[in-house]
Amino acid sequence: MRWASITDTGLVRVLNEDSYCISPGDCFFAVADGMGGHRAGEVASQMALQLLKQALDRRLKSGEKADSALIASIKDANNAICELSAGKLEWQGMGTTVTACLKRNSELLIGQVGDSRAYLLRGNWIAQLTEDHSLVQELLKKGSITEEEAFTHPRRNVLTRAIGTEPFLEVDFYHYQVRPGDLLLLCTDGLTRYMRREELLVSVNSSPDLDTAAKELLKKAISAGGADNITIILVEF
């Protein structure tokens, strides 16, 4: 297994409120995009991934099944972020997205809250593995807007679900079979607000290696506007 990662503040934001976690020995990869007041988003994303990984390690070590452990660990992180937010005035209202992937044998397990995404790339084919928890996604599902309108919608950053904002959290869970040579792309919306699915595929496939591919994706997002933090993880199984 090979991997590459990159994160950047972009051209507009002062702070990078994105975080990511790579634990290749455990086949665990995750991204988080924080939100809130001054530095609160940064705290939320960092703490969520740290707490999630700690809880996951503990649950797996106790013998809990990987799928239930992943979901429960995300909920554990949510509860902790809610408590932190309530206990400190400057952290009130903070939250974060989380998209976390755990590979077990040939199965990829994904737990997701928010609008950070996971994609699977296989040859000349790409699929989005997760569904955004956003206002625009709800409009798209209802047929109120088209996919093209969703891509440029002025309220595409409005979330309908996030870690740390409510004590009772629903976590979306996905599982997929992966093959040798498959690529996993995890990213925050600082990338996907500027690059369509097919553009992601072309950029990755035209790059000689994963590090170059990650840098090329970042470069294109920044060139297109770079109005948000951008975080990218690429994993080749």
Name the architecture of domain 2-227. Answer: 4-Layer Sandwich (3.60)
Q: Residue 78: what pLDDT? A: 97
Q: How far is CA 139 from CA 50, 117, 133, 136, 183, in A?
A: 33, 18, 11, 5, 30
Q: Residue 223: what pLDDT? A: 97
Q: Residue 37: what pLDDT? A: 67
Task: Give the pLDDT of the chain (237 residues) as one tens digit per residue.
Answer: 999 999 999 999 999 999 999 999 999 999 999 998 667 999 999 999 999 999 999 999 999 999 999 999 999 999 999 998 888 888 888 999 999 999 999 999 999 999 999 999 999 999 999 999 999 999 988 898 888 888 888 787 889 999 999 999 999 999 999 999 999 999 999 999 999 999 999 999 999 999 999 999 999 999 999 999 999 999 999
Residue 189 contacts residue 167 (beta carbons within 8 Å): no
Q: Residue 161: what pLDDT? A: 95
- Say whether 27 sits in a helix, a strand or coil: coil
Cα atoms in the Cβ-side hemisphere of radius 13 Å centred on 95: 16
* Rounded-to-integer distance, Cα 181 and Cα 151, Å: 29
* Rounded-to-integer distance, Cα 152 and Cα 166, Å: 28
User: What are the residue ranges spanned by the domains of the chain?
Assistant: 2-227
Q: Residue 151: what pLDDT? A: 86
Q: Residue 88: what pLDDT? A: 85
* Rounded-to-integer distance, Cα 151 and Cα 179, Å: 30
For 209: left if phi > 0, alpha if psi spans -120 to 50, otherwise beta; the answer is beta
Nearest to 178 by CA among 100, 102, 117, 114: 102
- Across the chain, which distance is largest between two alpha carbons, in Å? 49
Residue 151: DSSP 8-state? H
pTM: 0.96
Q: Residue 38: what pLDDT? A: 63
